[in-house]
Structure 1
Amino acid sequence: MNHLRHLLEEDPPKGRLDRAALELATIDTPDLEAEPWLEKLNELASQLGDRLRNFNDGRDFVETAQRFLFDELGFHGNEENFFDSRNSCLNEVLARRTGIPITLSVMYMEIARRLAMPVYGISLPRYFVIQFDDGNYSTYIDPYKGNSITTRDCYALAGATVADPALLRRATKKDIAIRMLQNLRGVYLQRRDWARAVTTLDWLLIGVPDVAAWYKQRGLLEMELKRLREAQRDLEKYLALEPAAPDRDAIVKQVQAIHGYLGRMN
């Protein structure tokens, strides 16, 4: 998990996004080997590169990549089962050619990186897109739909009623890893997979260690898993970070109950 940890801990993050995304996918598939999927990205980049032998400009790259990835290979957004955890795993997206916006974007970005093409992630409030920008030509791309989009489209996807350039800020690799972890956490919570949800929170708190709500959520999940010492630690951390929390009295009672139970067990 070195690349994921580097992305989350270092400023600026130094880990590789493709390797970090595959390490993240081991939460869902613990025995996953990264190398075959890195080689698959290399292969896709090579095939796209072959189609760019008469490359002229940025527009040519974007149009060729669109035809190759979305029309020829059929990569597309998974609208039938959006909340399948496999949609958040880069290996599964490469294997099944379907996923959610951010994972399809990571795939595109990593193929582009191998070809030295300037493609950046844009983390919109409700969506994720990418931007090609070489200084001469710039456009936004929606890998979930497989087409180029306008700035106005980006604002619409974000649910913005007025133009706000801050929404189009380029995402760092850490931003992307955090969002991918949050997506997986949501899936695991929905299907009541508490252990994997806790693992996503472990990683989230490595990246952003001062989010009180995450400590509370992890503590409550640890109670479900009967990990009472860990639950007590996290709930106490939540109270320390949020001394005026509206649910303080309820959480204090839970901490006291855990403390009493553990005391009787000794």
Structure 2
Amino acid sequence: WNLLHVRFEENGRILCSVNKQLVIDVIDLEKEGGFIGLCKFREPTASFRNFRFAKRFSSSQVKPKSVFKLRKLTRNLSAHRALGEADLQQILDIGKTAPQMLQDYSEELKQRSDDLQKLSKEIRERLVIAELVESLSYSDEKSIDLLKSALLIARIDNEHFNLNDYLKKADALADQIKSEFPKHSNDEQRIKILVSQLFNEMGFHGSTLDFHHRSNSYMNEVMDDREGLPITLSILFIELADRLNLKVTGLGLPGHFLAMYRKPQSLELDQENLTRNTAKHEIIIDAFGGKIIDRQEAARLTGLAIEDLAFEPSPKKEIIKRMLRNLVQVAGREKDPISQTRYLDTILAISPDDRYSRAQRAMIYYIREEFERALSDIDYLLESDPESPENQPLRVIRNRLINQGAAAF
């Protein structure tokens, strides 16, 4: 996103900046009246968010009771009050050491401000994670809004976008594609039109220049930039199909995520004939490549034999966890353990019994010398499955943590 700021002053002066960099400074005395608006043209059209205009922007409205409560809880971080003339004179009376004392206090206030910023960030992240967990809490898959859940992952790292705008954008894309459906078209024809419209006409495509960039995992940026990972493009495809009454699911094969449509009658086959016949009643979509493929091509993308692959729909909760695991890997590549921990926190909030993610978080805590947190995760693993063959190395690490002074909870 680019930040655009326009200021119109009384003397006819117009100041325009892009990302806080002044680019236009002119005086136009003819523009004495009129209206404020936005102009969009070309395809894809520009998008705007947080559009505001006023003589003076007002501060956010908050409840006084909430302000009092927060300040009471963070009283050790409170700001210094303004000084009157009498107080200033008392400081002057201190003498030459006063400036240094004020400078020292200034540094202390900066640290307090940093602490409040960190606290604000942590609280915001926890609230978003809680909302994500709630969005996945439905036992019925149909009740889970996969696009909203995927957008909430982006919200963890980036608060500056309106989630509902992207849900509306998906609705608009679906309506545009629906207008291309012939009146009496069947589901297979509509799937093929959806593939053609989304990937050929609208230009959504797989990211090849910077595959591992985090932007490819943020659904809002995928929808803005029209490029992404196999899983994020598949999610968009699934959600557009859902808006078009086409039952498409995720297909989480090892190393490559796909989308899959199955004819409703294929679900009624008996188990003996299921494996043999479902391939005849399905359409597999490689959203990253922007095309329809068969099982042989899907196997080639994974590097595995076709008989080793299970062509079964992925639950939506597992799709979201796979997105988060991708971000854990990206943060690891970037040597960013703080972000790794944040994504692992989210996975464990969704699935507390995910042993691999909890062990991974424990190791990150250990490397960062957050020994008590590491010990807490290791104890959880040992207590939740005392007979696991993986416990012996965990016990060794636990003893080492105890020797280093970590306290068991």
1:49-68 map, 5 Å: 49-68=178-197
CA contact (8 A) 1:130 1:141 kept: yes
Across the two proteins, how many residue pairs are aligned to each other?
A: 260
Higher helix share: 1
| 1:20 Cα offset (Å) | 0.5
1:156 matches 2:300: yes
TM-score of the pair, normalised by structure 2: 0.58
Residue 233 of structure 1 deviates from its aligned partner by 1.2
Q: Is the 8 A contact 1:7 1:174 kept in 2?
A: no
For residues 161 and 182 of structure 2, the distance between their equivalents in structure 1, rounded to whole angstroms, comes to 34
2:188 and 2:319 map into 1 onto residues whose CA distance is 25
1:179 to 318, 322, 335: 322
- The answer for the alignment partner of 2:230 in structure 1 is 101
C-alpha contact 2:251 2:259 (8 A) present in aligned 1:
yes
Aligned equivalents of 1:55, 1:254: Cα separation in 2: 68
Instruction: Say whether the 8 Å CA contact 1:122–1:130 is kept in structure 2.
Output: yes
Counterpart residue number, 1:232 = 375
Task: Note the C-alpha offset of 1:27.
Answer: 2.6
SS at match of 1:141: strand
Deviation at 1:185, TM superposition (A): 1.0
State the TM-score, normalized to the length of structure 1: 0.87
1:82 to 207, 211, 216: 211
1:161-240 equivalent positions in 2, closer than 5 A: 161-164=305-308, 167-224=310-367, 227-240=370-383
1:194-217 Cα shifts (integer Å, max 9, x gaps): 222112111211333223332232
- 1:143 maps to amino acid: A
Judged with a 3 Å threshold, the aligned counterparts in structure 2 of structure 1 residues 9 and 42 are, in CA distance, closer, same or farther, namely closer
Cα–Cα, structure 1 residues 222 and 32, in superposed 2: closer, same or farther, change >3 Å?
Answer: farther
Q: Which residue of 2 aligns with 1:6?
A: 134
**1:224 to partner: Cα distance:** 5.0
Deviation at 1:122, TM superposition (A): 0.6
Q: Where do 5+ consecutive residues of structure 2 fail to align? A: 1-127, 266-280
**How does 1:129-140 map onto structure 2 within 5 Å?**
129-135=258-264, 138-140=282-284
Q: What CA RMSD, in Å, does the superposition of the two structures yield over aligned residues?
A: 2.4
* Distance (Å, rounded) in 2 between the aligned partners of 1:197 and 1:113: 32
Distance in 2 between residues matched to 1:175 and 1:167, nearest whole Å: 15
Matched, 1:248 2:377: no
Secondary structure at the counterpart of residue 18 of structure 1: helix
Bigger mean CA offset, 1-10 vs 13-22: 1-10
Aligned to 1:145: 289
Q: Report if the CA contact (8 A) 1:155-1:161 is conserved.
A: yes
- Distance in 2 (CA, whole Å) between partners of 1:75 and 1:144 is 9
Amino acid paired to 1:43: A
Judged with a 3 Å threshold, the aligned counterparts in structure 2 of structure 1 residues 258 and 169 are, in CA distance, closer, same or farther, namely: farther
- The one-letter code of the counterpart of 1:213 is Y
Distance 1:48 1:55, change over 3 A: farther
* Partner Cα separation in structure 2 for residue 252 and residue 18 of structure 1: 44
Q: In structure 1, how many angstroms separate the alpha carbons of the residues matched to 2:156 and 2:405?
A: 28
2:243 and 2:306 map into 1 onto residues whose CA distance is: 36
Residues 21-30 or 152-161, more deviating: 152-161
Greater relative contact order (CA < 8 Å, ≥ 6 in sequence): 1
Distance 2:159 2:362 in 1: 23
* Partner SS state of residue 352, structure 2: coil
Moved over 6 A (4+): none
